């Protein structure tokens, strides 16, 4: 979902990050407040004043989204669901859960926490807005609090729409899961609602484009496409998790192809990369595992320097990021690959390399299992 992100701050153990794409929406929000909302609500201010209010308003929105996602994360952690962190991106923010909630009750409370937090902020900002009016505080700062109360109310209502992946869609999934005791059916139903809602937004976007609101229409259309994409993939991801759950790395790992640490990068590319077509190789000197080296690392070095640089000079040491245990659940391995941007991991036990597990091998196993079980629902909705 995300591209390059920047670590911002850590709050109560949650790492808050900003995806590069978020700066797009930050600029658009600030611009729209400076040239649209505040000039319409307040007349007679200078352009610099409007831009100052817009920056404050955008920062308030930034805080509101973090607050919303923080409470998702906090409740998830209380319910025993591991959280990697909170990431702000072009469409808002998301609490990155490492696994799905295990019960309908935990799914419900995790989902409802965000909208409740936004409603709390809407009420708090509205009270401050009324207080400033009573005290006859400056119109500018009063307008900022009115905007923040309004935007948090909209954020809560929008997220309560019963369409996955919205919070309301997760609440719907929790209710259906509780009623029928069938997570797969509940997810499919909520995801179908998400697909329908995505189509509605896309249609609304096209209508706005044809009636002259090009920018607004494009945003509706893009958000609709995003919601539809996530909704459709949520069911497939559940199918993958359920099909792989309980499968250990030991059953899927393959014999590793080692690279000596004392050969040059040119030798490695010619004798190993072009021959085996792997993107990561474990490095061994004698009988000892020293680390690993990837094609990405080699690609960052000028080709003319390959003959002079040894593999040991650029290899990465073994760590939790590039290794797994033979008894690790494959579902958790997929999550680690996605989190670290790796398609191959070393399988290590007691400091000894036991094998290699790759994304390609996992997906091949998954495809074979589904074909044997005759499950056609994975192919689409």
Tens digit of pLDDT for each residue in 23-63?
Answer: 888 888 898 889 888 888 888 888 999 999 999 999 999 99
| Element at 304 (helix H, strand E) | none
Give pLDDT, residue 379: 41
Q: Is 296 within 8 Å of 358 (Cβ atoms)? A: no
* Most confident of the ranges 115-119, 356-360, 364-368: 115-119
Rounded to the nearest integer, the mean pLDDT of the chain is 86
Instruction: Report the alpha-carbon distance of residue 159 to residue 114 in Å, rounded.
Output: 8
> Binning pLDDT at 50, 70 and 90, where does residue 68 land?
very high
Give pLDDT, residue 116: 96
* Catalytic residue (one of 69, 96, 107, 328): 69
* C-alpha angle 241-244-246 in degrees, rounded to nearest 5: 110
Give pLDDT, residue 175: 95
Name the nearest CA neighbour of 61 among 27, 13, 102, 111. Answer: 27
Read off the tokens for 325.
């245990």
Look-up of token digits 């999550």: 335
Read off the tokens for 31.
């611009």
Q: For the segment 132-160, what is each residue's pLDDT rounded down to a tens digit?
A: 888 877 788 899 999 999 999 999 999 99
Give pLDDT, residue 153: 96
Kind of pairing, strands 259-260 and 280-285?
Answer: parallel
373 an active-site residue?
no
Torsion of CA 269, 272, 273, 278, to 10 degrees: -150
Instruction: Report the alpha-carbon distance of residue 221 to residue 217 in Å, rounded.
Output: 6
Give me the mean pLDDT over the 234-257 stretch: 81
Fold annotation for 249-372? CBS-domain (3.10.580)
Q: For the segment 307-344, what is each residue's pLDDT rounded down to a tens digit?
A: 999 999 999 887 878 888 998 888 888 878 877 778 88
Name the nearest CA neighbour of 228 among 190, 193, 191, 198. Answer: 198
Instruction: Report the alpha-carbon distance of residue 190 to residue 107 in Å, rounded.
Output: 13
> Binning pLDDT at 50, 70 and 90, where does residue 373 land?
low
Give pLDDT, residue 378: 43
**DSSP three-state, residue 348:** strand
The structural domains of the chain, with segments of one domain joined by +, span: 5-244, 249-372
Inform me whether the pLDDT recorded for 248 exceeds 50. Answer: yes
Name the nearest CA neighbour of 351 among 325, 378, 377. Answer: 325
* Most confident of the ranges 16-20, 95-99, 327-331, 351-355: 327-331
Q: Is the previous residue joined to 268 through a cis bond, with omega within 30 degrees of 0? A: no
Determine if the pTM surpasses 0.85: no
Proportion of the chain above pLDDT 90, given as a percent: 37
Inform me whether the pLDDT recorded for 190 exceeds 60. Answer: yes
Name the nearest CA neighbour of 191 among 177, 203, 205. Answer: 177
User: Is the model more confident about 351 or about 177?
Assistant: 177
| Element at 7 (helix H, strand E) | strand 5-11
- Angle in degrees, 0-180, between the axes of helices 214-244 and 359-373, rounded to the nearest 10: 80
Q: Which residues of 167-201 are buried (b: 16+ CB within 10 A; e: fewer)?
A: bbbbbbbbbbbeeeeebeebbbbbbbbbbebbebb
Read off the tokens for 121.
């902020």
> Binning pLDDT at 50, 70 and 90, where does residue 4 land?
low
Give pLDDT, residue 269: 93
């Amino acid at each position: 979902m995300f591209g390059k992100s920047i670590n911002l701050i850590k709050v109560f153990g949650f790492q808050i990050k900003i995806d590069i794409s978020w700066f797009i929406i930050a600029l658009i929000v600030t611009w729209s407040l400076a040239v649209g909302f505040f000039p319409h609500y307040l007349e007679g201010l200078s352009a610099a004043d409007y831009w100052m209010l817009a920056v404050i308003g955008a920062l308030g929105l930034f805080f509101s989204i973090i607050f919303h996602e923080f409470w998702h994360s906090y409740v998830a952690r209380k319910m025993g669901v591991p959280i990697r962190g909170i990431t702000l991106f072009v469409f808002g923010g998301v609490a990155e859960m490492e696994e799905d909630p295990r019960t309908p009750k935990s799914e419900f409370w995790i989902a409802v926490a965000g909208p409740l937090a936004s409603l709390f902020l809407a009420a708090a900002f509205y009270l401050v807005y009324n207080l400033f009016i009573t005290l006859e505080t400056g119109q500018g700062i009063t307008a900022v609090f009115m905007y923040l109360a309004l935007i948090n109310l909209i954020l809560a209502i929008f997220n309560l729409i019963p369409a996955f992946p919205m919070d309301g869609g997760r609440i719907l999934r929790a209710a259906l899961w509780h009623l029928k005791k069938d997570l797969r059916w509940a997810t499919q139903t909520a995801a179908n609602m998400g697909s329908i809602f995505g189509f509605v937004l896309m249609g609304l976007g096209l209508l706005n484009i044809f009636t002259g609101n090009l920018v607004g229409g494009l945003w509706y259309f893009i958000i609709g496409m995003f919601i539809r994409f996530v909704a459709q993939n949520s069911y497939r991801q559940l199918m993958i998790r359920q099909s792989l759950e309980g499968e250990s790395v030991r059953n899927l790992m393959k014999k590793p192809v080692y690279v000596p640490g004392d050969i040059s990068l040119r030798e490695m590319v010619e004798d190993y990369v072009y021959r085996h077509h792997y993107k990561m190789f474990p490095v061994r000197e004698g009988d000892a595992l020293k680390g690993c080296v990837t094609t990405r690392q080699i690609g960052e070095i000028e080709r003319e320097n390959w003959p002079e640089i040894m593999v040991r000079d650029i290899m990465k040491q073994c760590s939790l990021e590039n290794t797994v245990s033979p008894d690790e659940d494959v579902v958790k391995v997929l999550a680690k690959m996605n989190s670290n941007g790796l398609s191959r991991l070393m399988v290590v036990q007691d400091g000894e390399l036991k094998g290699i597990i790759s994304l390609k091998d996992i997906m091949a196993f998954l495809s074979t299992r589904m074909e044997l079980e005759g499950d056609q629902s994975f192919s689409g909705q």
